[in-house]
Structure 1
Amino acid sequence: MPTVAQATLLITFKLSIFIIATLQLPPALSLTPCRTSCGSIAINYPFGIDDGCGAPQFRSMLNCSTDLFFLTPSGGYKVQHIDYDKKTMTIYDPAMSTCSILQPRHDFIMTEVQSVTIPPTPDTVFALLNCSIDSPVLNHYKNLCFDFSGHSCDELYGACNAFRAFHLLTNSSPPCCFTGYDTVKFMKMNILDCTHYTTVVNTDNLRGIGPLDWVYGIKLSFTVPKTVCEQCSRSGGTCGYDTETEVMTCLCSSSTNYTRECAGGSISAGDRISSHSPWAFFHVAILVVMCLLLVIQ
């Protein structure tokens, strides 16, 4: 017959084994490594194509399938280039009319967050084409229209095969309007009463250059949020955020993360350790051993 002390020791040992087994690290479910590219385009902070990567302000704005797309309420726009030095992103609408193709009109719509965090640049011009004489931008809001770099509506209709169709239908050049993003932000195409639109970038450098050589697309400008991202990167981590609280986090592996930098760097006082950290398991194991020693005594 085992003594009371022996029985107590056996029960405590079995309970300890059970606690350790249930507190072992789960499979790597919490975090996955952040992808750093999509095709030929580098994905750096503040952007991310995996949830929890990058800055929370840009969450769910990018999608990587075979190509990288910028997502808005009006659709997906192919990302052509991201310039991290100039902090610009150039996108292209595959359904947009250009000098060589005429396509049905649709609106370019951004969310309120996108309009603030990554708006079109001032040198992106929206050309509203084949407008009605009753269009508000030709009447009460005609001050919203402007010529850019010395170019005119007649030049656009005359040089482009796609837009020449408007001229042929009326035997004259129908009204058009060169304007900025704020116009199409606050007035949809049906209110503007123009049948088609196109967008041109880098308009400050297009003086003396014909429409056939313009760069069609939309250039967006973004700012990089001020964080401790550099400290995180130096420690070998990737800047991201907690998907529930959207608080900045330094992603260090598939199972651990810290608030400022990865283990091995100098973790500042007050930095939290992930509940899935191996240290949590180690501390529990120490407590179990201490309990066993007390029982034995």
Structure 2
Amino acid sequence: MQPLLLTPFAIFKLFTIILALKLQQIPALSLSLCRSFCGNIAINYPFGLDDGCGAPQFRHMLNCTDDLFFQTPSGIYKVQSIDYDKKTMVVYDPAMSTCSILQPHHDFILSDVQSVIIPPSQDTVFALLNCSIDSPVLNHYKYLCFNFSGHSCDELYGSCSAFRVFHLLTNSSPPCCFTGYGTVKFMSMNILDCTHYTTVFNTDNLKGIGPLDWVYGIKLSFGVPDTGCERCSKSGGTCGFDTDTEGLLCLCSSSMNSTRECAAGSVIARGQSNAPWRHIQIFLFLGVFLHMLIDVYDNLSL
């Protein structure tokens, strides 16, 4: 019995049908170059979750698991919000003491780069508690302490259940100090000789408001490098950088980048393809495969 041999035309028709079915299954080319959200917090320039995204100065600062975290040499702090218009980010240290909970002290440390490009805002106050009478901020550096919005440290000992224990132990209010980030930047808690600290932000709005209603946490102020990112975004790209040189890149697709903007016909950040290159590749591959089958058919016909 002779084997059933397909003619070249039948083979071509068969592969045309297969190709049509395959093309229907190909989704629009999607990109996951840079994640734009972590939970419900938007991740925009200059920040980035994936290496090569955002500005290189902010590289490896944010980490997204179930929540968004800000990483520093002293620990990992949960990000509560990012305001891109005001250029501020609010972080909270779950191991920090507050008016309602007392926890072992530790230092808040930023890297040298972080201290320059994303330091605590001017309206963030560090309250150093239960300080020794020999503390530098009570002697040679006492000018570093201040009262804010009409408040004094005594309010913390009197109003906060967590800090009242210091008053009970000594039957008096131990020394404390309201100060700025610069103090804890250059002097550790051991040098300051204070056992605990807490942080409060939006202090300009806390006049007449007791410690129980203060907003505890750290507000950081960041700058946005002027690198032409707006031009890249308008062209459909995502602002990023070369992971080796840290030079500016406009990320256009997984295989196409630019230093300024995405060219016409590239894959834009939303994942829609303007170029038929992938389809062309499939046609070329199937064309070569079809040619091979025709050669096989001719050989079998001999």
Q: Structure 1 length normalisation: TM-score?
A: 0.79
SS at match of 1:199: strand
Among the aligned pairs, what percent are the same residue?
81
Q: Which residue of 1 aligns with 2:166?
A: 166
Q: Which residue of 1 aligns with 2:156?
A: 156
Deviations 1:30-65 (A, max 9, x none): x95100010010000000010000000000000001
**Structure 2 stretches lacking a partner, 5+ long:** 1-30, 267-276, 282-302
Alignment of 1:1-297 (within 5 A): 32-264=32-264
Deviations 1:213-238 (A, max 9, x none): 00000000011101121111111110
> What is the CA–CA distance in structure 1 between the aligned matches of 2:157 and 2:45, rounded to whole Å?
41
| Amino acid across the alignment from 1:136 | P
Which protein shows a greater Rg? 2
> What is the CA–CA distance in structure 2 between the aligned matches of 1:134 and 1:186, rounded to whole Å?
17
> What is the CA–CA distance in structure 2 between the aligned matches of 1:209 and 1:251, rounded to whole Å?
48
- CA positional deviation for 1:150: 0.6
SS at match of 1:54: coil
Aligned length: 241
> What is the CA–CA distance in structure 2 between the aligned matches of 1:97 and 1:213, rounded to whole Å?
15
> What is the CA–CA distance in structure 2 between the aligned matches of 1:79 and 1:201, rounded to whole Å?
14
Contact 1:235 1:265 in 2 (8 A): no
Stretch moving more, 207-216 or 254-263:
254-263
Q: Name segments (4+ residues, structure 1) moved above 2 Å.
A: none
> What is the CA–CA distance in structure 2 between the aligned matches of 1:153 and 1:45, rounded to whole Å?
39
SS at match of 2:130: strand
Contact 1:32 1:253 in 2 (8 A): no
> What is the CA–CA distance in structure 1 between the aligned matches of 2:181 and 2:50, rounded to whole Å?
29
> What is the CA–CA distance in structure 1 between the aligned matches of 2:194 and 2:213, rounded to whole Å?
24
- CA positional deviation for 1:263: 2.1
> What is the CA–CA distance in structure 1 between the aligned matches of 2:46 and 2:172, rounded to whole Å?
48
| Amino acid across the alignment from 2:171 | N
Deviations 1:55-103 (A, max 9, x none): 0000000000111000000000000010000000000011100000000
> What is the CA–CA distance in structure 1 between the aligned matches of 2:262 and 2:141, rounded to whole Å?
55
Q: Structure 2 length normalisation: TM-score?
A: 0.77
**Aligned Cα RMSD in Å?**
1.9
**Structure 1 stretches lacking a partner, 5+ long:** 1-30, 267-277, 283-297
> What is the CA–CA distance in structure 2 between the aligned matches of 1:243 and 1:33, rounded to whole Å?
13
- CA positional deviation for 1:168: 0.6
Stretch moving more, 56-65 or 255-264:
255-264
| Amino acid across the alignment from 1:152 | S
- CA positional deviation for 1:249: 0.2
> What is the CA–CA distance in structure 2 between the aligned matches of 1:116 and 1:166, rounded to whole Å?
35
